[in-house]
């Protein structure tokens, strides 16, 4: 997220510089439009990035909510097999957003990323 704010800050700085260049210099119209187009592409890229990150976060929250309420979650492990994740067999590690197989279960030692799971 810090990277996102850094890029946003840089684009704001470039927007200010672009506005100064656009209005207070005697560059050709072609160069001014090129600068404006570059800024617009940058802002569009940030918008798209934040939109898809937010969508991904909402999906993760739904999966975590289902896990907390003892529902079965279908996931794909690192070997390509389908695994049913639930509270009886897996722990959720919030720092890395993974499900880890509990000790004593048949899934002991198995680590599955929350990104490889689908909610109901």
Boundaries of domain holding 88:
71-118
Q: Do 9 and 55 belong to one domain?
A: yes
Tens-place pLDDT, residues 15-52: 787 777 777 777 777 887 887 888 888 888 888 888 89
Q: Are 73 and 118 in contact (CB under 8 A)?
A: yes
Q: Do 26 and 54 belong to one domain?
A: yes
- Which of the two residues, 120 and 47, has the higher pLDDT score? 47
In a domain, 65, yes or no: no
In the chain, the number of structural domains is 2
Q: Do 22 and 47 belong to one domain?
A: yes
In a domain, 64, yes or no: no
Q: Do 9 and 54 belong to one domain?
A: yes
What is the share, in percent, of the chain residues with pLDDT greater than 90?
51
48 vs 4, 43, 44, 55, CA distance in Å? 12, 9, 6, 11
Q: What is the pLDDT of residue 49?
A: 86
Q: Do 8 and 51 belong to one domain?
A: yes
Q: Do 54 and 14 belong to one domain?
A: yes
Q: Do 83 and 103 belong to one domain?
A: yes
């Amino acid at each position: 997220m810090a990277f996102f704010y850094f890029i946003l800050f840089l684009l704001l700085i470039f927007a200010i510089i672009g506005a100064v260049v656009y209005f207070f210099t005697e560059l050709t119209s072609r160069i001014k439009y090129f600068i404006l187009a570059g800024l617009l592409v940058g802002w569009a890229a940030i918008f798209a990035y934040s939109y898809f990150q937010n969508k991904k976060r909402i999906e993760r929250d739904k999966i975590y909510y289902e896990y907390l309420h003892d529902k079965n979650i279908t996931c794909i492990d690192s070997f390509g097999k389908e695994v049913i994740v639930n509270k009886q067999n897996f722990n959720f590690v919030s720092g890395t957003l993974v499900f880890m197989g509990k000790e004593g279960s048949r899934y002991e030692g198995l680590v599955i990323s929350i990104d490889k799971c689908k909610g109901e």
